[in-house]
Amino acid sequence: MNLKTAFENNLYTSYPLFREASLTKRRFKQDSVNDLIDQRRGNPVYEIKQIGESFEGRPIHYIKTGTGKRKILLWTQMHGDEATATMASFDILNFLEGENDGFDEARKLILSETTLYFVPMLNPDGAHRFQRRNAQNIDINRDALHLQAPESRILKTLQQTLQPEFGFNLHDKNPRYSVGSTSKLATISFLATAYDQERNVNAVREKAIQVIAGMNRMLQNYIPNQVGRWNEDFEPRAFGDNIQKWGTTLILIESGGYVGDTEKQYIRKLNFMSILSGLYSIAENSYVKEGREDYYALMENSRYIYDLLIKNATITQDEKTFQADLGIDRSEVNTENATNFFYHSKIEEYGDLSIFFGSEEFDATGYTIEKGKVLAVSYQDVSDLDKVDPWALLKEGYTFIKMEPDTSLSGVSASELPLHILRNKPEPVAAPTFEDTATFILTKNGEVKFAVVNGFIYDLSSEEPAFHNGIVE
């Protein structure tokens, strides 16, 4: 086992020592980041500098550490709702501050051979709303040419003035992306961004391919066959593509999905390991031994996975019967000033989905999809629904509760009950179909066997389970 492999293996087991305990969920705001920056002020190993302000006047900083000749610029959350690498960046800073823990030689190597510039949360206005775009509704990563956003100007100025040898462009992506057309979620995807339409490989891009090859090899030990390659098509407006063209070797990391990791805490750990592995290979110059084969062997991301796939269900429509599959996704809807969220499901696809997969799958052969029953109540307030027994209602085939209208409400909100609450929306007249909310029952020989409410499936023959949120509309 070589030193780099031993270093990577030790990172996995030692990660709890470095995990930044103040960041546990994705929906944090810039105050949390500023607190962690302020804790480092006065520490001589850091230079902390405000490099500009967001559109709404929030300060944007870099944290500089290391004394080496190889400059590396790392930025996170240029999309405000992509926070995984922001958490991992502070884990990395904690690692670099450690001592007497078995990593001193690796730490010394990285800090003596590289100078690191971390820009955590480039888009604090977007992070405040937990949305992709900035306060102007501009996608910063499509603003490298016109530079209409102040955050875009900050990033280009940094690249142009620092002239870093390497850049790490750190993102999140839709958690349902698959590795090619397989059933495997693309938990981490890499890209050595193209700098021209032909996707040529020059010396600058070659180095990105080589560093990625090493990071991928390490990750395969922990998420085998769940590492993908982002689409290589040249995007002339994107920062990654242009920074590669401007002479900085650009490595894109996209954090996707991992079953059961809603808050991306395991994926955060994988980011921590991947980035440190890349930094180590740059510091010791070992990446130069890598070829292109492992990089191009990575399958490109695709969309072959739904949150829930119902297969072979019997559908009755206009007194005709046929079979169909339902691909259901559960989207996150921000709540509580974008500090929390609830799920709102949708039937994203309908028909023959035999080439697709689900993070959760149910074979509905022999089952018929039907509209659940509606319980009408005279309650004025949703809190009054505490009086109902949701499990008993589901077992009787009820999936909807019809309440008195409330015109002060608009859109969709969450219910703690695993039921679909109808306030201002009329009762459904049939089972749902394409683009409808996924609420229905599955019957067999006339008996209710399963209930699907807001995209979550419940086996009605089992013990009462933990419930997921329903919705009010």
Q: How far apart are CA 238 and CA 232, in angstroms?
A: 12
Rounded to whole angstroms, how far apart are CA atoms 359 and 449? 21
Phi then psi dihedrals of residue 408, to 5 deg: -75, -15
Which fold would CATH assign to domain 306-472?
A: Urease, subunit C; domain 1 (2.30.40)
Note whether 154 and 122 are within 8 A (CB): yes
* CA gap 140, 246 in Å, rounded: 17
Per-residue pLDDT, 337: 97
Domain with CATH 2.30.40.10 in the chain: 306-472
Cα-based distances in Å from 374 to 361, 391, 419, 451:
26, 14, 10, 13
- Tokens representing 452 are 């699907």
- Give the per-residue pLDDT at 4: 83
Q: ∠ CA(156), CA(170), CA(176), 5° rounding?
A: 135
CA-nearest of 285, 290, 77, 281 to 169 is 77
Residue 410's pLDDT is what? 86
Task: Say yes or no: domain 3-302 is CATH 3.90.1150.10.
Answer: no
CATH 3.40.630.10 residue ranges for the chain: 3-302
- Give the per-residue pLDDT at 183: 98
Walking along the chain (473 residues) 10 residues at a time, the average pLDDT comes out as 84 97 98 98 97 98 98 98 98 97 96 98 98 98 98 98 98 98 98 98 98 98 98 97 98 98 98 98 98 97 98 95 98 97 98 98 98 94 89 98 90 95 94 97 97 98 97 96
435: left (phi over 0), alpha (psi -120 to 50) or beta: left
What pLDDT score was predicted for residue 61? 98
